């Protein structure tokens, strides 16, 4: 059987055109990272296990026509193959893919791929120039054995303690910010390692974790540690306010220049040089005196009027609005941040976030919608050198997924 290199998607004009990514990730941080690589032009082959692939395929609700939106949102532009790493032959196919990959990405627990000979040392022995990226929960030291989910790390890391009112309970962030930040870090490391390989021919190991990402997100707070954090006090010029019509907006008056503009915009010029409020630390110390004044003032007009007034004085402020409104904002549409796909094997028409990275004159590519489970197994095997008879034999023996391009797997709520 031939062992020629798997050809990556080419001719896109995108920066990672010709780069093959073996994607052994699931859930969120890893798939988000590999989706960004696909956006940049890489050919991402997503390896999914039996019986139903990436766990997020069954994470419902929320869902779209029975398909988990969690999965759909972060797997566009990839090719899905289904392999059972517990099967010797399937594990061998996975190693064939790893030998040919430019980039190998995984988010198993540390040491979890050793028994399949897909760990860094094993893959590097067969593919010395590989860029091997690992995204874990807590790295390979203390806590390496623990399961890590975004909200658990939000709680452990102190991020929740900084979210919400100073005198109220801790709050979670509305989205999985640590997972997404870890995915971003992985992509930055992968791109740096590819540049190093281009210059030296050497492969590289890239490691990041939710632990690393949680600390990076709190860089400003860590500078103050272990001193008394100023964020423990109410900041009356950097908070949410309710307008007269019941709508809310966030005021971000973050420096002394904005304070002067704010007092003028509100007709409260007499407060500008009030010795209680003359500096931002003083405003924090006297927040119990300033806050009621601002609350009463902002309740005097509807939100739309305040947005006009504050905007006219160049004061940062934003109305709290539903995502459904924001995605139709002219600025969002102008920057092509919403992509519509006319057909998907699971859900039909599909709306996804556009690529957040814009390049010129090089370009990101529209990589297409997320794949159905096992959609590309036969295709990838042909690229590995298997003919139709060999592929049929593998399926007959259930060595690989039994139903190519099967589409949606049965969904069930996670326990």
CATH code of 279's domain: 3.30.1540.10
Assess whether 249 and 385 both reside in one domain.
no
Q: Is residue 54 included in any domain, yes or no?
A: yes
Q: Which of 276, 298, 324 is the last residue of a domain?
A: 324
Domain of 301 in residue numbering reads as 235-324
Note whether 180 and 217 are within 8 A (CB): no
Among candidate residues 179, 346, 374, 378, the one labeled active-site is: 179
Strand order in the sheet with 131-136: 78-82, 43-48, 20-24, 103-106, 131-136, 204-209
Assess whether 305 and 379 both reside in one domain.
no
Residue 274 annotated as catalytic: no
Assess whether 76 and 146 both reside in one domain.
yes
pLDDT of residue 411: 31
Number of domains, the chain: 2
ω into residue 172 within 30 of 0, thus cis? no
pLDDT of residue 227: 54
pTM to 2 decimal places: 0.86
pLDDT tens digit at each of 415 positions of the chain: 333 334 444 556 789 999 999 999 999 999 999 999 999 999 999 999 999 999 999 988 888 888 899 899 999 999 999 999 999 999 999 999 999 999 999 999 999 999 999 999 999 999 999 999 999 999 888 878 777 889 999 998 889 988 877 777 888 999 999 999 999 999 999 999 999 999 999 999 999 999 999 999 998 777 766 555 545 567 899 999 999 999 999 999 988 999 999 999 999 999 999 999 999 889 999 999 999 999 999 999 999 999 999 999 999 999 999 988 988 888 888 888 888 887 777 788 888 888 888 888 877 677 788 999 999 999 999 999 999 999 998 888 766 765 544 443 333 332 2
Assess whether 198 and 269 both reside in one domain.
no
Q: Is residue 9 included in any domain, yes or no?
A: no
pLDDT of residue 4: 35
Assess whether 157 and 261 both reside in one domain.
no
Note whether 250 and 194 are within 8 A (CB): no
Note whether 72 and 352 are within 8 A (CB): yes
| Cβ neighbourhood burial of 79 (10 Å; 0-12, 13-18, 19+) | buried
């Amino acid at each position: 059987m031939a062992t020629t290199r798997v050809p990556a998607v080419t001719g896109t004009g995108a920066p990672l055109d010709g780069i093959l990514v073996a994607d052994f990730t699931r859930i969120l941080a890893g798939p988000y990272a590999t989706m960004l690589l696909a956006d940049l032009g890489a050919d991402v082959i997503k390896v999914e296990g039996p019986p139903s692939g990436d766990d997020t395929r069954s994470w419902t609700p929320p869902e779209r026509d029975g398909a988990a939106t969690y999965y759909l949102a972060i797997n566009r532009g990839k090719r899905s193959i289904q392999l059972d790493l517990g099967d010797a032959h399937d594990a061998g196919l996975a190693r064939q893919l790893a030998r040919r990959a430019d980039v190998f990405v995984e988010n198993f627990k540390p040491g979890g791929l050793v028994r399949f000979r897909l760990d860094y040392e094993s893959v590097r022995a067969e593919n010395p120039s590989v860029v091997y990226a690992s995204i874990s929960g807590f790295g390979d030291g203390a806590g390496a054995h623990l399961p890590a989910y975004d909200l658990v790390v939000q709680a452990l890391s102190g991020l929740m303690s900084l979210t919400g009112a100073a005198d109220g309970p801790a709050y979670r962030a509305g989205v999985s910010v640590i997972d997404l930040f870890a995915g971003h870090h992985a992509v930055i490391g992968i791109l740096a390692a590819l540049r190093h390989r281009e210059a030296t021919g050497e492969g590289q190991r890239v490691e990041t974790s939710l632990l690393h990402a949680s600390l990076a997100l709190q860089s400003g707070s860590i500078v103050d540690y272990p001193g008394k954090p100023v964020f423990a006090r109410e900041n009356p010029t950097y908070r949410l306010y309710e307008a007269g019509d019941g709508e809310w907006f966030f005021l971000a008056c973050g420096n002394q220049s904005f304070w002067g503009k704010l007092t003028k915009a509100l007709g409260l010029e007499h407060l500008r040089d009030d010795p209680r409020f003359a500096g931002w630390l003083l405003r924090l110390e006297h927040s119990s005196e300033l806050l009621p004044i601002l609350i009463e003032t902002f309740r005097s007009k509807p939100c739309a009027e305040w947005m006009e007034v504050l905007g006219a004085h160049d004061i940062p402020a934003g109305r709290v609005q539903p995502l459904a409104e924001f995605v139709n904002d002219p600025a969002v549409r102008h920057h092509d941040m919403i992509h519509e796909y006319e057909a998907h094997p699971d859900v039909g028409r599909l709306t996804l976030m556009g690529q957040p990275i814009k390049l010129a004159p090089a370009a990101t590519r529209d990589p297409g919608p997320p794949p159905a489970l096992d959609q590309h197994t036969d295709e990838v095997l042909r690229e590995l050198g298997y003919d139709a008879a060999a592929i049929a034999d593998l399926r007959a023996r259930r060595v690989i997924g039994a139903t190519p391009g099967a589409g949606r797997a049965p969904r069930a709520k996670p326990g």
